[in-house]
Amino acid sequence: MGRLKIQQVFDNAWKGYAASFCPSHVQEKAASSIMDCKSGKLGCNVSVCTDCGHMDFHNNSCRNRNCPSCQALLKELWIDARKAEVIDAPYFHVVFTIPAQLNPLVYANQALLYSLLHRCSAQTLLELSADRRFLGATPGIIQVLHTWGQELNFHPHIHCIVSGGGLSRDGKLRTCGSRFFIPARVLAAKFRGKLLASLDALHKGGKLSFPASCSSLVAPAAWASLRDRLYNTAWCPHIRETFNGFGNAIEYLGRYANRIAITNSRVKSVSADSVTFWAKDYRNNSSLKEVTLSCREFIRRFMMHVLPPGFQKIRYYGFLSNRFRKERLAVIFRIQGHQRFKSMLAGLPMDQVLYSLWGVNVHVCTRCGCLGMRPLGRSYVLKG
């Protein structure tokens, strides 16, 4: 199997990039995993046919969450698990963004401020949803952090799937109509207030690091000036889609949940010095345009989107929060009288999962065609 396009980019320029930019340990691990994925350097799985004795060797994948070759199975398993949490209610896609002036500060404080974005988005939705003028109940919320734009620029934002139904304080199920139940201007004002108040508290507590590009913000007066300007700026959360069923919403969000900054399918060509890829131009009716970067610049932009180690980019709130999910879903299903979907893949061995998803029968011998292929073992690479 030939090298995939993004692997070729890293092959061409990673050493030069690493010498110039001093990547972090987690960035080095991501790059190494991408270059080694399915190359044989990570060992292989061996199968043998019990009928004809033919042996197959399949190179191991890296399973790194930043690898463009390792997300398809994770996405399908995630979608299957989430479908079992369906309730009968409309669902909505909400996107929270921040002004570009805050991007350097967010990048310099990734773990702290990515978590803050998650928290402020969730608190905004939950507090407004609890208001009887809007929903009067606690919805289920799934949030996914993305940090990129179409050209791999740094653009942190939170994608949310929000249920149009939930449990009220007295344990009753309340649902909304087909339109999103919180006005966009109310949503924007609440989110802006929460985020800026939290940033202000972090600044006063000395918890923020300031890169050279915004080092002047260390001074209280400069920070107060920026904060006040942002308070007077219109923030625009996007309410993108309305879904007729949770299944459709989860299929939709599945495209976001395990997505990385760019996939091989978007890369048009790779040369020794440059890479050309497709990007949507949102200023021109989302038409496609070509973007050409040097291989080193492509890697620099790609590395900006490698998350801090252990950071949870997918988070669950409301009746889907990990602590209360099982209990509250049971109440909702009891009120509704049924559970629409159940997991199809939970508990299945991997060979059955692959057959259910893509019709791939790993037991078919590529030589004799019989169903005799059986796993013989897995080889590993010894390091150190």
- The two tokens of residue 233 are 């700026």
Give domain limits for the chain: 72-261+305-336
183-206 residue pLDDT tens: 999 999 999 999 999 999 999 999
Count of Cβ atoms closer than 10 Å to residue 31 Cβ: 22
Q: Which of 29, 9, 5, 6 is nearest to 17 (CA)?
A: 9
Q: Which of 220, 165, 118 is nearest to 336 (CA)?
A: 165
- How far is CA 65 from its chain centroid? 9
**Measured distance between the N- and C-terminal CA atoms of the chain, rounded to whole angstroms:** 27
Would the pLDDT of 384 be above 60?
no
Q: Using 50, 70 and 90 to split pLDDT, how confident is the model at 247?
A: low
Q: Using 50, 70 and 90 to split pLDDT, how confident is the model at 244?
A: low
User: What average pLDDT does range 117-130 have in this prediction?
Assistant: 98
Position 74, amino acid? L
User: What average pLDDT does range 167-173 have in this prediction?
Assistant: 95
211-232 residue pLDDT tens: 888 899 999 999 999 999 999 9
* Secondary structure class of 95 (helix, strand, coil): strand
20-48 residue pLDDT tens: 999 999 999 999 999 999 999 999 999 99
Q: How far apart are CA 370 and CA 137, in angstroms?
A: 57
Q: How far apart are CA 27 and CA 43, in angstroms?
A: 22
Q: How far apart are CA 342 and CA 346, in angstroms?
A: 9
* Secondary structure class of 240 (helix, strand, coil): strand
Q: How far apart are CA 86 and CA 338, in angstroms?
A: 10
Burial 245-283 (b: 16+ CB within 10 A, else e): ebbebbebbbebbbbbbbeeebbeebeeebbebebeeee
Position 257, amino acid? A
In the prediction, which pLDDT does 343 show?
A: 87
Q: Which of 297, 341, 294 is nearest to 82 (CA)?
A: 341
Q: What is the mean pLDDT of the chain?
A: 92
Q: How far apart are CA 327 and CA 346, in angstroms?
A: 19
Question: Which ranges in 276-349 belong to alpha helices (H)?
Answer: 295-303, 325-336
Whether 158 contacts 98, CB under 8 Å: no
Compute and round to an integer the Cα radius of gyration of the chain: 24
User: What average pLDDT does range 69-77 have in this prediction?
Assistant: 89
Q: Using 50, 70 and 90 to split pLDDT, how confident is the model at 277?
A: very high
Q: What is the pTM of this model?
A: 0.92
Q: Which of 233, 141, 128, 132 is nearest to 182 (CA)?
A: 128
* Secondary structure class of 269 (helix, strand, coil): strand
